[in-house]
Structure 1
Amino acid sequence: MRAAFFTLLATATAVATTAQTKPDAAPPIVASLDGLPIGTIPRQELPTGSCAAFLWSQTPGHGLIMMVTASPATVRFAPGGAVTDLVRVAQNGEAQFGLAATTEYAGGDLRVTVDMEIVKRGDLTDGAAVPTATVRVDQAGKDSVIVPAAGIIGCG
Structure 2
Amino acid sequence: MNALPILAALVLAATQQAAPKEAPPPAPVVPSVDGLPIGSIPRQELPRKGCAAYLWTASGTRALVAMATGGGGTDPARLRLSIAGKITDLDRTGQLGAITLGFPETTTYAGGGATIKLTLGIEPRSSITDGGAVPEGILQLDRTGQDSVVIPVAGLIGCT
TM-score (normalizing by structure 1): 0.84
Letter paired with 1:107: G
1:91 corresponds in structure 2 to 95
The runs of 5 or more residues in structure 2 that have no matched partner are 1-16
CA distance in 2 between counterparts of 1:88 and 1:122 reads: 29
Letter paired with 1:122: S
Cα deviation for residue 81 of structure 1 reads 1.7
Matching of residues 127-138 of structure 1 within 5 Å: 127-138=131-142
Q: Deviations over 1:20-73 (max 9, x none)?
A: xx5261111101100001000000001011100000001211100000101220
Number of residue pairs matched? Answer: 138
Letter paired with 2:133: A
Rg larger in 1 or in 2?
A: 2
CA distance in 2 between counterparts of 1:58 and 1:136 reads: 14
Moved runs in structure 1, 4+ residues, more than 4 A? none
CA distance in 2 between counterparts of 1:25 and 1:61 reads: 20
1:25 corresponds in structure 2 to 25
Matching of residues 66-145 of structure 1 within 5 Å: 66-71=66-71, 72-145=76-149
CA RMSD, Structure 1 to Structure 2 (Å): 1.5
1:43 corresponds in structure 2 to 43
Work out whether residues 90 and 105 of structure 1, in 8 Å CA contact, stay in contact via their aligned partners in 2: yes
TM-score (normalizing by structure 2): 0.82
Work out whether residues 130 and 153 of structure 1, in 8 Å CA contact, stay in contact via their aligned partners in 2: yes
Cα deviation for residue 121 of structure 1 reads 1.0
Give the share of equivalent positions with the same residue, in percent.
43
